Each structure stands twice: as C-alpha cells, then as structure tokens.
Structure 1
C-alpha cells in the first residue's frame, strides 16, 4: 500500500520482566499499527506495519514512554514486509541470551492499595503483584522470561487471573508472576515441622512477635529472622541463639515509623522508596525507642521499608518495627529452601512463616548509604542484581570475560559486549557452605545468561578458593587466565564505573582495605598506585608492620596495636608507660614479640584496615577479639564528631617507594590520651590525618604523571567520614576523585575490576 511500510524493530537493554511487551501492544493499538511483539533472547523483537508517520511515532515512543523499570540501550529499525492485520503478543523466540534480566521490584502503590481494599479479590493476599512490581530475578529459571521459565510454572492461572493476564487494558497484562488466593502460592505458619491451624497466618505470626517470639519469614530471596525491634529481651535472645553478639541487625519499618527511628533527608527517603528498596544506613535518633542491642556502639541503623505484600501485612499486624536479619546460622549462607530452613534454623526461631513459591536463587538484601554526595552500594543483592553495568565506551569490542572475585564478600562478573553483569553478594568463601554456594552460582549465572567466556580472571592470590576454581576452569576449557593484583582490581573497578576509557591514560589510585596479596609477595592494604587498565605500579604505602599470628591479628586488634606501638616508641618505652602497658595485661606479649623478631607467622602488611583496628584498640573501642569483620573500624567511625586538625604522618622515600609512616600519629594519640582529649575529637583527627597523608602523596603522583584523576576504592572507603574527607581534600587541590557508587568499594566489586583489566589486556 502506498505510504505504508513494514519494519523489524529490535530493542536491547532491560526489556524483560518490566511489562515491555504489553506496553508495545498498547502503543501499537493506539497508533493503529499491525504486527507482533515477542522476547528473543535478551531483546524484544517487534514486527510492525502501518503508515510511515505512525511507525516513526511508534519508534520514538518506544523510548520516550517506556515502562519505568525498563532501560532502553538501543533501538534498531530494519525494513520488512507488511505484517498480518492486527497486533498481538506472540510466544518468545530463541536467541542468544544477553545480560538483561530485571531485579526483584518492591510492591507498587496500586498493589499495596489492592491488598487493603475490602472489595478486592486479593484483599490481604501476600503474593499480589503486577507488571510494575513483584518477584523477577528470584523466580527466573531460564530465559526468555515467560511463566514456564519461572518458579511460578507450577501454579496454573485461574479463569480470573487468566482474564487479567490476557487483557491489554489491565496492569497485569502478561505479568508472569500473576497470582491470587484461588490459584497462587499459599502462606502458612508452622512449628517443629507441623503446620499450625490458622485462619490468618500473618495475624498469628504477628501475635508471636508481639509476645517476644522469634520468627523465620520466607521472603523473595530467602529467609529472614524477625523479632520485635523494640523488645530488648527478644533482641538479646536472637543474638544468643544466632551466636551474633555485636554485629548490627537490620530493621524493617514503614516510612512513618522510619522517620521516628532515624534522621532521613529527602534523597534518603527516595532511596528507601525506590524499586530496589535496599537496606540504608541512616543516623539513629537518640529517642527512637529501639532495643539498645540492635547496633551496639554504632551511630547508624540499617533500615529498610517493607518491599513485599507479606512484609507490609506483617508489619501492620505487628504494629512495631521488626528486626529482619538474614535467615542463617552465623557465617553460613542465607537459607532459601523450606526444608533447609526447618533444619538450619531449628533452635533459633520459634516458628516459621512459610510459603510454597520456590526461590530460584538466594538473594541477600542490598545495603547502601549516602556518602560524598550520592548513594553508594555496600552490598549488591536483592533489588539491584542482576542490573548490568555499562563499560567505558572503548570496551565495546572487548572479549567476554568471566571474573571470579576474591575470598571475602565474593561476587562473580560476566562481561558481554559493552556491559558487565556483577552478581549478587555470595559471601565469604572461607566458609565451606558459602564456597559450595559460590560454585552453584557460577553454574547458575553461566547457564542462565548463556555466557561463553574467552578469558577468565582471578585474584593474584593463588590459594583463594575462587582463584583455584578459576585456574581449573581455564585449564579445562583451554582459556587464558589473567591474575589481577587485588588493589589494581579495586582501582580499575572505580575507573570503569566512572567511564574512564582505555584511551584516557593513567590515573592515580588510593586503595585502602584490609589485606591483599601484593605483586612483591608481601601483604598490601594501604597503597597509592599509578594505574591504567592493563597494569599498575605501586608508588606509596603505609609503613608495614608485622601481623603477629597472621590471620589472628585480623581478629584481635590488640596484636596490631602492640606492633604499631613497639615500632613507634620502642618496646622499653611501651613497657614503661603504665597506660600503654595496661592495654596488654594478661596477653602473651613476649611470645608475640619473639614471633615478630623471627618472622614466624608474622607477615609484614601495609594495611589501613588494621590501622583502624589498632587506633580503636588504643581508645578502648575494640574488644580483645572481634565478633565480625569491621567491628573496630565501625566503632571508631561512629564515635567521630566535629572538625579536628589532622593528626600528623611522616612521608619519606624508601628506595623507589614512598612510605606513609604513622609514628607521629601514635605520638599525638599518646599525648592526647594523657591530656584526656575527648574521643570524638581524637577519632575525627585520625580520619582527617589519614585522608590528608594519602591525598598529599596522591597529589604529588598525579602532578608527576600528568593526570588530574584519583580513584578511591577498597573496603576502608566504605567509611563515609574518611571518603568525604579524602574527596574534599582532592577537590581542594583541583583533582577529580573517581569513586565507586553502583559497584561496592569493598571486595564485592573486585570481580568487576578484574573483568575490565582482563578485557583490556586482550584488546588491541
């Protein structure tokens, strides 16, 4: 027909599980176009026909009016024959799978109103969802994203749900997890393996919580352990049963309650209410009325809003904020299967609030905080994974890479063209069960996204479980293995997230964390590097000290403090100072000093994390033995207040390396302790001093290298005060800080950095 044309339109990006095909259907009907729409691998494929003006308007609206959860990356139009009359959604076709699955999405306002509507057939239904909200990644078993490829496959739609699913005017049009009380998942309360007879399990669960009980709650990505967050006895009992003495516990509350518990600014409120609904670290109000054992020694609380209908209903029925901590035994992975929960959480919880919708993969809650002007992800999980990350523009032709991450806070990274998929948080691989879960996740991601790597990347440390697995995979598949130094990976991750191109040259990097194997075979953890993607050169480090007892020093801060004080003052001076000597009363000091003298299980390390531990120990803010990673450093950050002049560090050259020597810091701390200076001022001066010392060295290195960019990464930079002090000092010198935001600065971002380094090494 004259003036009419046909086109094939391919849409790439996050276009599955977001209501994109129903949107296309309604748009085509509105513009009077014929054709079809289907999922094809990681794309949406449209065959459209009609007036040329209508096709142009259609193509423009695909981007301008896309559903809120969609991310359009590319629209390609190709001439085609006119389609058959009418427009319809067809079954998904096969195709190469790309990285483009949407995360789980918090309950939308329409569904929240529906479960509270006495006239609605989903009144108080805990699994209500639509195309704008509900489970996605946690139920996907395969792609393309259609109901038969999800864990909802076993729930046949009733006639009423089928009618909604097939009605283009309904917000549940082609919503794959659609369900109702007649045909969908069911909820029940059980104790000791037996279901408790109940007309409303949520009301009965709420009664148990109000009475001080502890409840296992099956959510979207796994089980939580819940109790009344205002009940000190319940919180103490939970800690005792879970063997979690001091690690902060996350709290779930509605928005009004959240404002009574914490100081929340508009940006933080928006982040809490975002589709990802992360746990957000927020300053606690002193009169919040929470149990004192929730976050001992901390100024901030991990808080999240309810993000499923089940959570909304349970909170409302209970009438108080609830602890919502991962459903696991200490250090083990979060439990996400019913039978596993019955055994794994026995003795911890008093009852289980269960349901029968299977979870395809465990997804811990994401954790974030605002620092240096924007939201920064600390743990990437439910609500964020598996959103892809864009690689810098000159990585478009990069080979596909599988990066295996590190030993702690492990995550995988798969690259696909100009995008990278950084997996959800998988945990610490020194825990055997987490290591097994890591291998399961590797198989899951590789199969789900049909990933065929050409390069495998891993940490330089050969004894990490992830590194051993990477080497075995590379050998079995005949692929090159790229070993990437730990801190180079940290800095490369910050570079890539900030769009730093290969062609942009080198940056200076400040990498501050606990420990990572250095290129010289020693332990690094507080470094200034000069980096591009292919290589890095160490310019400066914190003066190393011996870690007496090796790994034991990471758990017992007094060991590190002893090494620092001995180095700064000499052993005789430490032993002759009554206050300093008292810090080590009853400790095996002679044995440790002998170990350090002989180099016996006392490796030297330049670790910022251990420096924080030692300062916290000096101020009495750290226990003799830490119960969780970062406990001492978090306490030191929490007590800091006000502005203070920075404590001094010496900066000197030792051969080809600049050393940042903390000896003057220890002299100043000792003097201030003797003068009874308030701890908040001392902590503030320490943060300022550490930032100032590293910025001075980085600024000199940047000037010599002819760059204005300084990348900041490593787990220590999840300390908001240190990050802001460092960024401000860089900015005052006219330098541009490159700071991670979507990628965790801690080891959860290592795999992303490894991936871009490996890719760059295999590009022309």
Structure 2
C-alpha cells in the first residue's frame, strides 16, 4: 500500500472537486480524506495502485475545474484510515482561485423543462457544474454563509442533496428550489403584478415593451430583437443612437441570422457564455441592432431565468446593459427602480442580491483564433499563468489605464486580470474602480509590495497608484501593450526581443507626444521605438477623438490636398483648426493609428461629423472593406511610416469612381503592409525573434488577417485571453514591474 499526500492547485474549489476525488478514491478502493484549504485541495490517501488514481485525477476532473499543478509526496497517517471521507475545510486566507460564474449546465437546463422535476420552471436552478459564483461571493472561504444565498436556509430536500457526495449538488453553495430559494416576480411602477412572471414578461415583450431584467452581474434592458420599432424606442429612451446592442437567443435562432463556424459555436457554448461577434447572414434582423456593421453580438441564455424567458418568447431578445449612459451597470433592485424607470416599462425582478457588478464578456473568432475583447462575467476571476521566468515574482498590483480600465493582481505565479470597470472619466466608474481595488485585495488576500501604472500623469489610475504609497514602476502605454501580448502568448522572460506592432487610439509617449502607431523592438524589460506613423496634430485635443473630420483635414494638409478639405467639409471652420494646429494650441502631435482610421472613414463619407461611441467610424470602415482590394501605398523613410501617399490614393480613387469599399480595404491592407514590412525586417535581420501584435486596432479581423498574411513564415504572437485594447494594459504593466524586480 502507498500512503500519499497529494496537493492539487488551481481552480479546484466550488467546482465539485472533492466529491469527484471521493468517487475515484472509492473506485480505487482507497482510504483517507480530501479537504479544501487556502492553497486548493489536499488529499491524504492510502491505496494500492497510485498510477490509476492519479491518471483519473488528471483526466476526469469536473468540467469547471482547472488544474495548475499536482504535487505528490509521502504521508504518514496517525491512525490507519478505514474509509475515504470528505473532511471539513481547514485554514483561512486565499492562495487558490475563485471560480467564475458558469452558464446553466445541460442537466439543470433539462430539469427546468421537465414537469416531473421539482425544479420545473424554477429560475434559480444550479449545481456544482454551473450557476453563480463570483457575483454572489461576499468573502472567503467560499461557502453558503459567505454568499448572498446566506439568507435562504436550505429545505430538507435541498439539504439532502447538499450533504450527499454522490449528488451533483454536493456542497453547491447556491443550491435552492422553489420551497427555499430566491423568488421571481414582475413589477410595474413599484408594484408586483400577480401571475406567472415569465408569462407576464413575455406578453409585454410581444407588445413591443422594454423590460429591465435582473441577471447575474446586473440588469439588462430587453426587447424584441425582431422589432425595429421596439429597438428604436429603446435607443430613444437610452439616448444610444448607434452603439451595437447585444442579442440573446438559442443556438438554432442564432443560426438563422448569422454565419456560424464550429469555432464560434464552441465559443458561444463555453461555460463562460460570452457575447460573440458573428457575421450577419441568413434572415435579416433590423439594421438598428448594429447600424452599418457587418456583425451582431450574440449570446446564449446563461441562467435558468434566461432559458425560461427565451423558451416562452420563442425568438431573440435584445439584452443590453441596464445603465445610464457612461455609468456602471445597475445591480440593486432599488437602484434599478430609481435609474431604469425612464427606460423600462416593467421589471423582471428577483430577491437574490448581486455582490458585484460584472458586464458580459465580449469575444470573437479572429483569423488567429478566439480573442477576448472584454473580460467580464464567466471569465473573471479566472487567473492567467505567468510565463517561464516569472515563478518567483512577488505580489504586484497594476492599476491599468484610463479607458476600458481594469486592474491586475499578481500572486503565486498567477495573474488575476479584473473585469472591465469602464472609462475613468465618469465619477461613478471611478467609485467602482476604488471598490474593485479594495474588493480584490480582500478576496484574494493580496498584499502587494510593488505597484505599476501608466506614464500619463493625469490618468485617474495613475493618481490612485500614487496614493497607494507603494514603490511604483511607471510603464509607457505601448510598452504595456507589448508586454500584455507577450504574456498572453507565454513568451518567456528571457525569450529575447520581439518586434511589437502596436496600433491603437492614443497613449502617452516617452517623448511627451501622443503615440498610437508604433513598431517597438523590445521585451518585458525595455524597448526601442524603431518606427511609427508620421505624427499629425489632433486639433481640439479630445474633440479630435470624436469628430473624424478634424483628423481628415490634418492628413489632407500633410498630403498637399488642403483644397479638397474645403470641398468635402464645406460647413466646417477649417481655417480655425488649421491655425490652432500651426500654433500648437490644443493640438498635440499624435502617431495614432486609430485617428488615421477615423480620417479615412471621414474621407469615405462615414461619420464626417461626430461619432456617437468610441470606435464607431473604424468599425464602419472595417465593415465596409473589400478584403480583396490591393493595398494602397504608404511611404517609409528613417523609421517614419508616411500615410500621405495613401491619402492621395483615396483622393484620386474617389475622383475616378473607385468604390469606397475598395478604398477601405486598400487602406487597411496598405497599413498592414507598411507595418509588417518593418517588423519582418527586424526578424530577418536577427534583431527580433518574433513579431507581437497589440493595441485595440488588432480587434479588427480585417487588419489582423492582412498583417498575418504579410508575416507568413514569421513567428507571430497575438492576443487570445487578454484584451488587445486598453483592458489588457494592467496585465502588461504587472509583467514589466515583475521583470524589473527580478
């Protein structure tokens, strides 16, 4: 017989791991115990054939488990064990990870649809393989008393399931049923409406009304996705004229309106149940869902409530965040009544509290594979392994950027990149950001000794870092993008330099100018800027970020086509912004690729006036592009990539009747050629070992595909689990701080 101590590290608590161990131990005829402690799962076991047990431990783990390591050593029992037991948790603190919320599993989905089951039609059905985790957690260790389910005592039937190791609800902390758990109701004007809440909600949706629906991480605003009138009314009430709206539906419904690949089906069906951007195809839905775009964001129902609602409605539903414009998503019942009453005709409510706000994750399948665009529900607080060389990294807190803010905690060779917190220009988002810092520190028992932040002195996140009192590593914005991509691809700390193509909106450059279109040669420890777009003024400063015509005029002037600006923007005061740019008054120089996208979009007639949301013009340009168009020319000299020849080609193309779609595609492929050429030369010459692609522009699959095609035969690192946009900055900052401290 062999007496062993087995330590299992990773995402192994709250996922049914102990009953799984109990089951395979009984199959092996073993004796001993399994328990949770602050480091994960601990097994003390006496058995005859260890290899069989260990193979089962690795290969048959529960669906939500993520094993990082299995450590085995000899063990000495005080007394010979007679049976195999699940013992009580021991110790305090958090050295292991918290499991993200998981979409309803097939077994629970079948239960709520089976009239013979006691949970038939019950909107809060779950088990160890699915249901809420992070959104109901109030403290550690993860047990019912430390969740918002604490106020719902288990009935005798649920208690029997909870206590039975052979039951899939063994120690499922949110377990409940109609007799003992949360309840659902529909209300109007603060008054509950008698009747079946799902049926009542469906009748209002069918009548074209807008409902506020309480989900896992906050409220959604829902309406019929097939009704142009309902969508228009939702946009009018929310003052959201064009920003895309997410849609929830079954897989069969989605297939009627979208082009679906096996990879996209797999992504939709993941336990995280993210919003997935899918190409429009088949039966058309109202263009008002995503005006001018070629994709719609779809998600499957991910709670029993959503399953019941979609089943009863029989069609796709808009499910967009319930919030005032620019503010965080609403999570409380009273908060919803106060803030969403001007949007919603009725409220589908329940009485299980939401412990923390979590927006839906947004993802897409790109030419490089699946890519996370926004980390949220289902992905957070899942951790990211650190690359080789970072094993001994001390605890670090990275504060992220200003836009798409997120924080990152490093501990025990893992990084916890937080959920999307929003843009820190908004006061309420700043408040949420502060709460997230405190919340994550408490939940993960995090005591950092080093902080990392952006170089920009006026970022709210930078000021927060300075208030922390920790020693700070100040990281250049685009270096953080580069390191974020390296870390996502698990590039080793000593893996050597790479050529990083960094294309985004704007970031504070080390030379005091605004960067956004660079080729960096470097690694985690440092970088050299070896090429960049020719800078152009941003007349009006922040105004140039929302008014594409301003960028178009500056690029026309640089191309010697100033007269054309007057022709296509006749109502604009061009001389005023030209004078400001010439004087350097509120017109910082910028190499931003994002603003170049805006300029070309304006020249092609897309949003020449004002964008209603960030990236609108660039997304329309992506949707317009003919991907087969030949590249438009860019110049290059002494590390400066010159867009003037491309601007001139757009001018002549429009004069000669070339379709705008061809010019949109030619611009993006030309941009790809220009930057990929510099990066390829760095690899071929031996200065770089690979190419890394980062920055928000690489969420555009047209551009990404064109760059990958130009770099064929070269090792290319791309984002997958970490957003390429500013939502990934904190991860890169943390890695750079770790590299500096090693």
Query: In which range does the TM-score fall when normalised by the shorter chain?
Result: over 0.9
Q: Is the Cα–Cα contact under 8 Å of residues 99 and 419 in structure 1 kept in the other structure? A: no
How far apart, CA to CA, are the structure 2 residues paired with 1:344 and 1:157?
33
Identify which of 725, 728, 732 aligns with 1:746: 725
* Aligned partners of 2:519 and 2:675 also within 8 Å: yes
The question of 1:710 aligning with 2:706 is answered: no
| Match of residue 193 from structure 2 | 196
Alignment partner, residue 254 of structure 2: 258
Q: For residues 717 and 160 of structure 2, what CA distance do their matches in structure 1 show?
A: 51
30-39 vs 749-758, which moves further: 30-39
Superposed displacement of residue 670, structure 1 = 0.5
Paired position in structure 1 for 2:580? 595
Could you say what secondary structure the match of 1:240 adopts? helix
Q: Is 1:574 aligned to 2:571, yes or no?
A: no
Residues 137 and 386 in structure 1, CA contact (< 8 A), matched pair in contact too: yes
Mapped to 2, the partners of 1:329 and 1:520 lie a distance apart of 38
- Structure 1 counterpart of 2:110: 113
Aligned to 1:643: 628
State the alpha-carbon separation in 1 of the partners of residues 463 and 96 from structure 2: 26
**Alignment match, 1:699:** 680
Aligned counterparts of 1:676 and 1:6: Cα–Cα separation in 2: 80
Aligned to 1:270, which of 254, 266, 269?
266
* Mapped partners of 1:748, 1:226: distance in 2: 26
Runs of 4+ in 1 over 4 A off after TM superposition: none
For 1:472 and 1:354, the matched residues in 2 are separated by 39
TM value normalised by structure 2: 0.98
Residue of structure 2 equivalent to 1:231 = 227
Q: Is the 8 A contact 1:39 1:144 kept in 2?
A: no
Structure 1 residue 619 and structure 2 residue 609: aligned? no
Q: How far has the Cα of 1:13 moved from its partner?
A: 0.6
Q: 1:755 aligns with which of 716, 723, 734?
A: 734
Structure 2 CA distance for partners of 1:545 and 1:28, relative to 1, 3 Å: same
Aligned-partner SS, 2:727: helix
The structural deviation recorded for 1:89 is 2.1
Q: Which runs of 5+ in 1 are unaligned?
A: none
Q: Deviations over 1:628-663 (max 9, x none)?
A: 00000000000112412110011011xxxx100001
CA contact under 8 A between 2:634 and 2:643: conserved in structure 1?
yes
| 2:368 counterpart of 1:383 | no
Query: What are the residue-to-residue correspondences of 1:171-570 with 2, within 5 Å?
Result: 171-198=168-195, 200-285=196-281, 287-288=283-284, 290-473=285-468, 475=469, 479-569=470-560
Find the residue that maps to 1:453 and give its secondary structure: coil
Q: Is the 8 A contact 2:544 2:550 kept in 1?
A: yes
1:133 aligns with 2:130: yes
Q: Is the 8 A contact 2:161 2:170 kept in 1?
A: yes
Conserved 8 A contact 2:504-2:594: yes
CA distance, structure 2, for counterparts of residue 335 and residue 622 of structure 1: 31
Number of residues paired by the alignment?
Answer: 740
Q: Which runs of 5+ in 2 are unaligned?
A: none
1:513 & 1:226 partners in 2: Cα distance? 32
2:613 aligned counterpart, secondary structure: coil
Measured in 2, the distance between the counterparts of 1:745 and 1:538 equals 19
Q: Pairwise CA RMSD of aligned residues?
A: 1.3
For 1:94 and 1:717, the matched residues in 2 are separated by 45
Residue in 1 aligned with 2:716? 737
Deviation at 1:292, TM superposition (A): 2.2
The whole-number CA distance in structure 1 between the counterparts of 2:72 and 2:283 is 59
Q: Give the superposition deviation at 1:702.
A: 2.8
* Aligned mates of 1:455, 1:664 — CA distance in 2: 46
**Which of 717, 720, 743 in structure 1 is aligned with 2:701?**
720
TM-score scaled by length of structure 1: 0.95
